[in-house]
Amino acid sequence: MTFATFKDTVEGQRAGRIVDTMQGVASGATTAAVPASGGVTTGLLFNNLGTTLYSTLKGFPKFSQMAASRDVRLMSLRNANTRELSGWLCRANLIGTLNPNATGQRLTHVATTYPLKRNRRGAARPIRGIPYILITTTTSTTAFALTMDYVNQDGTPVIGTKTYTAPATNAAQGTGGWLPLEKGDVAIQDITALNVSVAAAAGAANIYLMEPIIMASSLLTGHTTETDGLRGSRFVPPSVQPPAPTAGVLDSELVFMYAGGGSTNTALATIEAVEQ
Amino acid sequence: MSATDRPLDSLPELMARQASAGFYPIGWNLRHTPSTTTNTAAVPAGGNVFMALDRDRAAPPIGAAYRGWVVGACRGMSAGGHLYLMAKFLIGTLNFTGGAGTYVPNAAMPNRYHYGRGLAEQVIPDFSFLRVATTVVGAVTPTITLPSYTNEKAQSGRACSMQIPSNPVKGSVYALDSNLQGDDRAITDVAAMATSGGSAGAIEVWGCKEIAYEIASTSGGAGNTQAFQPASLNQPIMQPGDLYHPIKGTITSIGSFIQYDLVPILL
């Protein structure tokens, strides 16, 4: 049953409700951004369950590996953090891994075939997202630099010219960053290459297509922020199940993406969703 | 939606109901017992770890003109973590007696009228918990198996299993939900249950419906945080004797306080 009215939503909650918690794991101190890394200090927050930072990363457990065919809508989100920050509930869709320890094309794309798709306006359409780098092994000696080749929001292949530089020679694991896009582009459907021009001596990173779902900022340290999926999303309660890959299996976790300080941070959250 | 009694829909309606029928305030000072023991953390294969507060509170008797109770508002205070008020239903108990243990079924999730709905329907849990009723002895990271449960779609013969920590202490709670078969969301009945080991102790299967929830969060200090929230509109109308139980999303024994107001629902 598609939710068309508030009454539909309340009735749907009886049988289709999903409540899930994140008892977060402390992120550890991350490295603050510099202008060459994009200027925004950012990171991802994960669930304690099943996570081994930064090799095995898990989000809300009930939404991990949920089938893309299910239509699950966010009703409400309550979250608290140990830091004041701007934040979003996001789908972290894994594109691949980066080894920045030599020059040249250093992205290993996962076997999953992109673009990812969701049903929008009556058809399965490619999704757009933020190109995100999450350092999973602390770098050393040199702040690596790279350019990104990608498929833009319109499905057009782009050879990138803008350089992302790691924020420090020893950028800590857990440090995130938004990879730069060419002028006129606003999002990606996929990344096809990461061309390292300056190599580090050590380090590794995950590369994601981040799909923001709803804002979940922490306005005051230690206090709870409530987000209403009915009104906070402006149009309809947003989907929280993963998108569907063109082919293969998608590694997709429901996590928090934040922009804020580099001090260690831990998320506490409960999400309420309803399956239509 | 049928034209049933809905006093929670607006503040004037709630005030009118409270003026005409009163409300039933319940306040608990809670501390997990035994207070000196930290609940056993979940192993990665299990669910997020929770903590039960070792105490049920039964919905009180109600007059013949009323169908039952709902919670109007809930306030909680705790030194950190998630704090839930749950409607709790006992589905069955696994007694650790050596070997696979002995399972004693209690009852499937009951039918109840739900707020704003005009017929009695099965209560579908938001959480399917394993709750340690008696500290387990002699079990090394046992695997708890449910070879036959019924899901939220009334499909029986479903199966799942979950590994839990060694010898979990009384009050430890583990969420089964991420380990259910396929896309199952909840357990509504359990026909069989077994353990891979353990000589003494007991674990209950609870079907819990979240009534109210808040995060009592601090910035890392030891201060208590008071939290307040309106109760969910998605509530079963509780009958006298039905049980409420607070659940915490931490594993450290800490003092908590919870208060909630029961509002009567007319037939």
pLDDT tens for each residue of B34-67: 443 445 555 544 456 688 877 789 999 999 999 9
Instruction: Kindly state whether B225 is in contact with chain A, defined as any CB-CB distance less than 8 angstroms.
Output: yes
Q: How far apart are CA A89 and CA A76, in angstroms?
A: 11
**pTM for the full predicted model:** 0.85
Instruction: Kindly state whether A222 is in contact with chain B, defined as any CB-CB distance less than 8 angstroms.
Output: yes
Determine, for residues B225 and A222 on separate chains, whether the beta-carbon distance falls below 8 Å: yes
- In this predicted structure, what is the pLDDT of residue B47? 56
Q: For A270, which of B82, B117, B178 is closest by C-beta distance?
A: B82
Q: Is residue A195 left, alpha or beta, with left meaning phi > 0 and alpha meaning psi from -120 to 50? A: beta
Is it the case that residue B220 has pLDDT exceeding 50? no
Q: Which residue has the higher pLDDT, B200 or A80?
A: B200
Name the 3-class secondary structure at B98: coil
- In this predicted structure, what is the pLDDT of residue A121? 81
pLDDT tens for each residue of B62-116: 999 999 999 887 877 776 677 788 999 999 999 999 999 999 999 999 999 988 8
Name the 3-class secondary structure at B16: helix
Instruction: Kindly state whether B252 is in contact with chain A, defined as any CB-CB distance less than 8 angstroms.
Output: no
In A, which residues are within 8 Å of B227 by CB distance?
Answer: 224
pLDDT digit string (tens) for chain A, length 276 residues: 667 776 677 677 777 888 888 888 888 889 999 999 998 999 999 998 778 899 889 999 888 878 898 889 898 888 887 777 788 999 999 999 999 999 999 999 999 999 999 988 888 999 999 999 999 999 999 999 999 999 999 999 999 999 999 999 999 999 999 999 999 999 999 999 999 999 999 999 999 999 999 888 777 776 777 777 766 556 678 889 999 999 999 999 999 999 887 788 888 888 989 887
Q: How far from chain centre, in Å, is Cα A68?
A: 17
**HEC sequence for chain A:** CCCCCHHHHHHHHHHHEEEEEEEECCCCCCCCCCHHHCCCCEEEECECCCCECCCECCCCHHHCCCCCCCCEEEEEEEEEECCCEEEEEEEEEEEEEECCCCCEECEEECCCEEEEEEEECCEEEECCEEEEEEEEEEEECCCCEEEEEEEECCCCEECCCCCEECCCCCCCCCCEEECCCCCCCCCEEEEEEEEEEECCCEEEEEEEEEEEEEECCECCCCCCEEEECCCCCCCCCCECCCCEEEECCCCEEEEEEEEECCCCCCEEEEEEEEEC
- In this predicted structure, what is the pLDDT of residue A87? 86
Per-residue pLDDT band for B189 (boundaries 50, 70, 90) equals: very high
Please choose, from the candidates A137, A133, A208, the residue with its C-alpha nearest in 3D space to the C-alpha of residue A172.
A137
Please choose, from the candidates B188, B26, B244, the residue with its C-alpha nearest in 3D space to the C-alpha of residue A14.
B188
Determine, for residues B185 and A48 on separate chains, whether the beta-carbon distance falls below 8 Å: no
ipTM of the complex as predicted? 0.76
Token pair 């896009």: residue:
A181
Per-residue pLDDT band for B30 (boundaries 50, 70, 90) equals: low
Cis amide leading into A35 (omega within 30):
no
Compute the average pLDDT of residues B254-260: 74
Using DSSP bridges, classify how beta strands A164-165 and A145-152 pair: parallel, antiparallel or unpaired: antiparallel
Please choose, from the candidates B251, B231, B248, B256, the residue with its C-alpha nearest in 3D space to the C-alpha of residue B72.
B231
Closest residue of chain B to A50, computed from CA coordinates:
B44
Please choose, from the candidates B236, B235, B214, B237, the residue with its C-alpha nearest in 3D space to the C-alpha of residue B226.
B214
- In this predicted structure, what is the pLDDT of residue B222? 43
Q: How far apart are CA B76 and CA B195, in angstroms?
A: 35
Other CB atoms within 10 A of residue A155 CB: 11
Please state, in angstroms and as integers, the Cα–Cα distance from residue B44 to each residue in A64, B14, B48, B167, B207, following that order.
14, 44, 9, 16, 22
Question: For an interface test with A, which of B219, B225, B237, B248 has the most A Cβ atoms less than 10 Å from its Cβ?
Answer: B219
Q: Which residue has the higher pLDDT, B21 or A68?
A: A68
